[in-house]
Amino acid sequence: MRVGVIGAGLAGLAAGLELADRGHEVELLERRPWAGGATYSFRDGETGDEVDNGQHLFMACMTAYAGFLERLGTLDRTRRQRRLRVPVFDAAGRRSDLWAANLPFGLHLAPALLRYRHLTRGQKARIARVFLAIRRLGPEERARMADVTFAAWLRGRGQTRADVRDFWDFLVVPTLNCRSDRASAEAARFVLEEGFLRGPRSAALGLPAAGLSELHVRPAVRAIRERGGAVSVRSGVERIELAGGRATTLLLRGGERRSYDAVVGALPPWRLAPLLPAEPRLAGLARALARFEPAPILNLHLWFDRPVAPFAFAAFTGPQAPWAFNRSRLGGERGAGERLALSISAPGELFALDREALRERFLSWARAALPAAREAKLLRFLAVKEPEATFVPAPALARPGPRTALPGLFLAGAWTDTGWPATMESAVRGGLAAADAVDADARRGPGA
């Protein structure tokens, strides 16, 4: 079967490689001059360093993404923990780690919570009760969590605003890219249960030691081409068109039309919606896509003339505080200086600040939070804004599966109904699910 995949982001790459492996003729069409979607890297013109558009992590429970890297032969380009350990610094520079002990019955987080210096005793007791409540949830309450925000659900269990600010948002914002008052309780429950309560290894972190394009973009493109597929950049799609009642034709910019046996839409929902044909069978899908709201992430890169951070990565407390990654340590870079990457999820008003304002704000932050940075010289500062990094997992948001009501049209993406939040794991799962659906229809034969 000849399959056209719209978009060469991570979901499109995963779908394309899986389809090519199953013997299908695949072409990925990407509007930009490069593949990778929301997860790519580029060469900084001034320093020559490979810079990610945004820092990404994955957990041990994210088996689809790790399997994708293993398939590409690049899993060894990551650094993976055996069990979770995150250094956490407060505004005064005090460190208190969150870590998972090798304990059974969901007790692996208890020692870290008891010793965690950034919470009061009362907060720890209330938080422990919520973890216990999540473990005891019944099917009816789980179903109700899809329709309320996590903040509202937490208030119903005695959590204060300070509890949400100091702990629950600390966990939710980096994983869901929105705060508890916007995220559905169901989305937050999934993250907490799957990532933190499943077992002592489930939340162990993996960090790329290479640029994302080197880690999974270029290897995936190469693998697809080696299997006879094509990845065409600067090939934006203007519209999906019907032929014989099926979605089999793509109108490209410039007027060219390309025909396929099936089409996979691997774009974010707000970019896919304008491409859909005016077809009554897609009315429900169009309404579902219209409910998705993009969520931005702010990424900052700071080059210093000397070492400033005594860690490979660390989290910082406080509103809009970043996660900081020591790219020099993670990538094994040698030299007198050090490069930090800061990732700010749910950045709020920070996202509108210009480069100079961000530079001043976060240079001041670095010098306050990192004593070694106070005497260091900032050599270069780079801000990378991703306005459509993820989607807001709002209450009652319906995420469609890989199949649509229109024959020949399939969906792939981190936003599809993978059960996971908008992570690299969800993107890979979405791509694989779309490939499964296309392949199943191909096996059933014409008219499927």
Are residues 381 and 410 located together in one domain of the fold?
no
Residue 52 lies in a domain: no
* Co-location of 36 and 176 in the same domain: no
Any domain includes 75: no
Give the per-residue pLDDT at 334. Answer: 73
Q: Are residues 283 and 408 in the same domain?
A: yes
pLDDT class for 46, splitting at 50, 70, 90? very high
Vertex 292 angle, CA 351 and 197, to 5°: 85
* CATH number for the domain that contains residue 298: 3.90.660.10
Residue 90 lies in a domain: yes
Q: What is the mean pLDDT of residues 267-272?
A: 98
Quick one: DSSP state of residue 167?
I
- Predicted pLDDT at 153: 98
Structure tokens, 187? 């989305």
pLDDT score, position 446: 60
Which range in 108-112, 197-201, 271-275 is most confidently predicted, on average pLDDT?
271-275
Verify that 308 and 383 share a domain, yes or no: yes
User: Which residue type, as a one-letter code, is found at position 198?
Assistant: R
**51 found inside a domain:** no
Please indicate, yes or no, if residue 318 is contained in any of the structural domains: yes
- With pLDDT > 70 as the criterion, what percentage of the chain qualifies? 99
Q: Tell whether 260 and 217 lie within a shared domain.
A: yes
Neighbours of 387 (CB within 10 A): 10
Residues 380 and 407 grouped into a single domain = no
Shared domain for 349 and 328, answered yes or no, is yes
pLDDT digits (tens, 9 = 90+) for 28-41: 999 999 999 999 99
Cβ 419 vs Cβ 195: under 8 Å:
no
The residue behind tokens 């996202």 is: 351
Q: Please state the rounded mean pLDDT for residues 352-364.
A: 97
pLDDT in tens, 160-179: 999 999 999 999 999 999 99
Same domain, 248 and 368: no
Tell me, yes or no, whether 408 and 272 share the same domain.
yes
User: For the stretch 66-92, what's the b/e string if a residue is b when 16 or more beta carbons lie within 10 angstroms of its beta carbon?
Assistant: bebbebbebbebbbebebbebbbbbee
Mean pLDDT of 346-370: 95
Q: Between the CA atoms of 136, 137, 139 and 144, what dihedral angle is there, to the nearest 10 degrees? A: 170
Cβ-count burial of 402 within 10 angstroms (0-12 exposed, 13-18 middle, 19+ buried)? buried
Same domain flag for 89 and 199: yes
Q: What is the mean pLDDT of the chain?
A: 95
285-321 pLDDT, tens per residue?
999 999 999 999 999 999 999 999 999 999 999 877 8
Do 9 and 116 lie in one domain? The reply is no
How many domains are there within the chain? 3
Which of 150, 182, 203 terminates a domain? The answer is 203
pTM to 2 decimals?
Answer: 0.95
Q: Which tokens sit at 310?
A: 């005594």
Please report whether residue 48 resides in a domain.
Answer: no
Name the domain boundary from 146, 170, 203.
203
- Residue 400 pLDDT > 90, yes or no? yes
* pLDDT, tens digit, 9 for 90 and up, residues 325-348: 999 999 877 778 999 999 999 999
Number of CB atoms found within 10 A of residue 239's CB = 14
Listed in order, strand segments (DSSP E) in 255-403 are 257-259, 262-265, 294-304, 313-316, 323-326, 338-345, 378-391
Residue 429 sits in a domain of what CATH number?
3.50.50.60
Residue 191 reports pLDDT greater than 60: yes
The range of the structural domain enclosing residue 37 comes to 2-42+211-293+395-444
